[in-house]
Amino acid sequence: MIPSYPPIKPPIERAQILKAAATLGIVGSGADFASRMLTLLCDPQIDGSEIAALIAQHPSIYARVLRVANSPYYGQPRSITTIERALILLGRDAVRGIAAATCFDRAMVRSMKARPLDLQAITRHSLATAAAAEELAALVRPTLASEAFIAGLLHNLGIPVQAQLDPCAIDAMIDANRTGTPCEIRVLEATHACVGHEACLATVFEAWQMPESLVAVARHHHAPMDAPEPQRDLTAVVNLGASLGLAIGSSYSLEPAPIAHHVPAVRWLGLSDEQLDIATSQLKARIPELNAALFSL
């Protein structure tokens, strides 16, 4: 008897990825304000006055940024009542990161409608990855801390594009994790998907004309040593930030269980086991504060 094999899916081309992203309101002329604002906030050269002007255009984002700035996560002794005050007390990069987190949440809400994915869990995992990546970078690559937060925050934005292109693959990967031993997401994609979420995100970032460092993180965050050497530090930090996020319980259906730290990335960054343990302990205490500030009514 001739064995039956699943049909081979044709490869997905760049134009198809961009069309799917445009359908979701992530790229193109139909991109919503949250996606457009994200692209501006991801520019490391943006200055404080530009950030304040952007946030001022959207009262709901303005209010949310102030709520996070006044949360226990930042531990400010004085009340922060304006974005300008937040820029002085927290710094440009912290405010940029808070605003990006708010925009990311809104972009995900729009793009994930009617998808078989747990939006809240993905958003919380992305936020935990951002905080963890920032914390690890502060330990070993301080100049990358602000970029690490934003890169970690956005590292899973390719998933809704992947779901738009290949919803059956998403269903199959979720089912595989639910009914068997959870697998690393790249393994699941190799078995079930015609395009990976990393390729989707890298294509979107290229369309957004993101810095090369963020494109490299998008394309290689599950295999950081494959990133070009100039971008390897940031990619490794985000990779380990994601594994720390899973370790503290910020998982979702495509990555439902903790995974081992990527040893080459740990060695590349020169992190010790003690530093990783301290970072994990601090995240367990701080992430609920950040989640409460961003997602409470």
C-alpha 83, offset from chain centre: 24
Closest CA to 279 of 240, 224, 229, 222: 240
Mean pLDDT of the 44-72 span:
90
- Per residue in 244-296, pLDDT (tens digit) is 999 999 999 999 999 999 999 999 999 999 999 999 999 998 888 888 888 76
Chain mean pLDDT for the chain: 89
CATH code of the domain occupying 14-295: 1.10.3210.10
Q: Domain residue spans in the chain?
A: 14-295
Closest CA to 237 of 103, 157, 143, 122: 143
The residue with greater pLDDT, 215 or 26, is 215
Contacts of 219 (CB under 8 A, 6+ apart): 198, 199, 201, 202, 227
pTM of the model: 0.89
- Residue 289's Cβ-count burial label (10 Å; 0-12, 13-18, 19+) is middle
C-alpha 220, offset from chain centre: 13
Q: How confident is the model at residue 9 (pLDDT cuts 50, 70, 90)?
A: low
Question: What interhelical angle do 119-140 and 92-111 show, nearest 10?
Answer: 160
Mean pLDDT of the 98-115 span:
74
